């Protein structure tokens, strides 16, 4: 299994509080991603990173920020948690594009976040 660790695995928080989720990799992959998974929506990209301090928005980035100060760590922050952010969050890593082909992503085990 790819070396990806998400923490915490479960969290319950109150509306309006900030929350930070951590993703740690030991594979030295260039790309790191945060997705959220909700029933009927599949996985939707929140933010991704293509290098240290290099990040970009995904399709559902409102209310979220990210930081990557080291190759191995990618943090997702909910600035002021809302009930609509109750979800399962997955971190993923990828080597990106190699030659003429894209490479697969490897996923962490997920973080179940409940905002009450």
Partner 1 sequence: AQSVTQLDSHVSVSEGTPVLLRCNYSSSYSPSLFWYVQHPNKGLQLLLKYTSAATLVKGINGFEAEFKKSETSFHLTKPSAHMSDAAEYFCVVSSHSGGSNYKLTFGKGTLLTVNP
Give the residues lining the site for partner 1 (CB under 8 A).
31, 33, 35, 40-45, 48, 50-51, 54, 56, 58, 90, 92, 94, 96-97, 100-110
* In the complex, minimum distance from the CB of residue 110 to partner 1, in angstroms, rounded to a whole number: 6
**Does residue 66 contact residue 34 with C-beta atoms inside 8 Å?**
yes
* In the complex, minimum distance from the CB of residue 83 to partner 1, in angstroms, rounded to a whole number: 22
Cα separation of the two ends of the chain: 34
CA atoms within 13 A on the CB side of 114: 4
Residue number, 85 or 94, with CB nearest to partner 1: 94
Residue number, 2 or 63, with CB nearest to partner 1: 2
Which of 35, 47, 3 lies closest to 111, judged by CA? 35
CA–CA separation, 106 vs 97, rounded Å?
A: 14
* In the complex, minimum distance from the CB of residue 18 to partner 1, in angstroms, rounded to a whole number: 26
Residue number, 4 or 115, with CB nearest to partner 1: 4
* The token pair that represents 86 in the structure block: 């109750």
């Amino acid at each position: 299994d790819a070396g990806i660790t998400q923490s915490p695995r479960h969290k319950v928080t109150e509306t309006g509080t900030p929350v930070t989720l951590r993703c740690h990799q030991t594979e030295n992959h260039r790309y790191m991603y945060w997705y959220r998974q909700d029933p009927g929506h599949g996985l939707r990209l929140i933010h991704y990173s293509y290098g240290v301090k290099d990040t970009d928005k995904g399709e559902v980035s409102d209310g979220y920020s990210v930081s990557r100060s080291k190759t191995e760590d990618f943090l997702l922050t909910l600035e002021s948690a809302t009930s609509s952010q109750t979800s399962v969050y997955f971190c993923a890593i990828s080597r990106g594009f190699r030659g003429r082909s894209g490479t697969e992503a490897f996923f962490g085990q997920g973080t179940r976040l409940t905002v009450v």
